[in-house]
Amino acid sequence: MLLRTVDWNDACACANSWAPWKADRLAPHGSKRRKPVLKLTIFKRLIISYLVIIVLVMASGIYIMVRLNDLNGTIRSMNSVDVQTIRLAGEIAQAVYIQTGFEKKYLISGDRDYRTQFLKMNRHLDQKLTELDNLAVSREMKVLAAKLRASHERYRVMFDGITSAADPTAALRNRDEIITGIEAATRRIAQSADKARNDKLQSLEITSVQVLNAITLSEIAAVLLVLLISFLITRSINSPIRLLQEKTKMTAKGEFGRPLDIASPPEIRELAESFNEMCSRLKELDQMKIDFISHLSHELRTPLTAIKEASSMLMEGVYARSPEKQQELFDIVNGECERLIRSVGRILDLSRMESGMAEFNFEEAEMGPVIEKVAAKLAPIAQRKDIKVYLNLSDGVQPVRMDEEKIEHVIENLLGNALKFTPEEGEISVSLSENDECKRIEVAVSDTGCGIPEESLLEIFEKFKRVDDRKGSVRGSGLGLAIAKHIIKAHGGTIWAESEPGKGSTFIFSLPLSAASS
Residues of this chain that interact with ligand ADP (CB under 6 A) are 413, 417-418, 421, 447, 449-450, 452, 460, 466-467, 470, 476-482, 505
HSE value, Cβ hemisphere, 13 Å, CA-based, for 401: 15
Based on CB atoms, which residue is closest to ligand ADP, 78 or 378? 378
Based on CB atoms, which residue is closest to ligand ADP, 117 or 446? 446
Per DSSP, the chain holds a count of helices (H) and strands (E) of 13, 7
Alpha-carbon distance of 328 to 314, in angstroms, equals: 10
Q: How far is the CB of 508 from ligand ADP (least distance, A)?
A: 12
Alpha-carbon distance of 513 to 518, in angstroms, equals: 6
Q: How far is the CB of 422 from ligand ADP (least distance, A)?
A: 7
Q: How far is the CB of 377 from ligand ADP (least distance, A)?
A: 16
Q: How far is the CB of 502 from ligand ADP (least distance, A)?
A: 11
| C-beta of residue 363 within 8 angstroms of C-beta of residue 472 | no
A 10 A CB-CB count for 436 gives 9
CA distances 311 to 128, 303, 327, 381, Å, are 143, 12, 12, 26
Q: How far is the CB of 369 from ligand ADP (least distance, A)?
A: 23
| C-beta of residue 378 within 8 angstroms of C-beta of residue 415 | yes
Q: How far is the CB of 468 from ligand ADP (least distance, A)?
A: 8
Based on CB atoms, which residue is closest to ligand ADP, 380 or 472? 472
| C-beta of residue 102 within 8 angstroms of C-beta of residue 114 | yes
SS (H, E, C) 247-258: HHHHHHCCCCCC
Alpha-carbon distance of 4 to 24, in angstroms, equals: 27
Going along 381-426, which residue ranges are E strands? 388-393, 400-402
Based on CB atoms, which residue is closest to ligand ADP, 240 or 449? 449
Question: In which order are the strands placed within the sheet that holds 388-393?
Answer: 388-393, 427-435, 440-447, 504-512, 494-500
Rg (CA), the chain: 57
Residue 86: which of 177, 201, 198 has the closest Cα? 198
CA distances 388 to 418, 422, 428, Å, are 11, 11, 6
Based on CB atoms, which residue is closest to ligand ADP, 242 or 503? 503
Q: How far is the CB of 385 from ligand ADP (least distance, A)?
A: 13
Q: Which long-range contacts (CB under 8 A, 24 or more apart) does 9-15 make?
A: 9/494, 10/458, 11/458, 11/461, 11/496, 14/458, 15/458, 15/459, 15/461, 15/462
Q: Residue 225: exposed, middle, or buried by beta-carbon count in 10 A (0-12, 13-18, 19+)?
A: middle
Residue whose Cβ sits closest to ligand ADP: 476
Q: How far is the CB of 268 from ligand ADP (least distance, A)?
A: 43
Based on CB atoms, which residue is closest to ligand ADP, 25 or 466? 466
Based on CB atoms, which residue is closest to ligand ADP, 254 or 472? 472
Beta bridge partners of 364: 401
Based on CB atoms, which residue is closest to ligand ADP, 436 or 468? 468
Based on CB atoms, which residue is closest to ligand ADP, 404 or 459? 459
Helix axis angle, 139-164 to 84-109, nearest 10°: 10
Q: How far is the CB of 420 from ligand ADP (least distance, A)?
A: 6
Based on CB atoms, which residue is closest to ligand ADP, 432 or 450? 450
Q: How far is the CB of 471 from ligand ADP (least distance, A)?
A: 8
Based on CB atoms, which residue is closest to ligand ADP, 159 or 421? 421
Based on CB atoms, which residue is closest to ligand ADP, 99 or 413? 413
Alpha-carbon distance of 366 to 397, in angstroms, equals: 8
* Bond prior to 303 in cis (omega within 30° of 0): no
Q: How far is the CB of 301 from ligand ADP (least distance, A)?
A: 16
Q: How far is the CB of 497 from ligand ADP (least distance, A)?
A: 7
Sign of CA dihedral 183, 185, 188, 189: negative
Based on CB atoms, which residue is closest to ligand ADP, 310 or 450? 450
String of DSSP letters for 20-43: HHHHHHHSTTTTPPPPP-----HH
Helix, strand or coil, per DSSP, at residue 442: strand
Q: How far is the CB of 456 from ligand ADP (least distance, A)?
A: 7
Using CA atoms in the order 420, 421, 424, 425, what is the torsion angle rounded to 10 degrees? -110
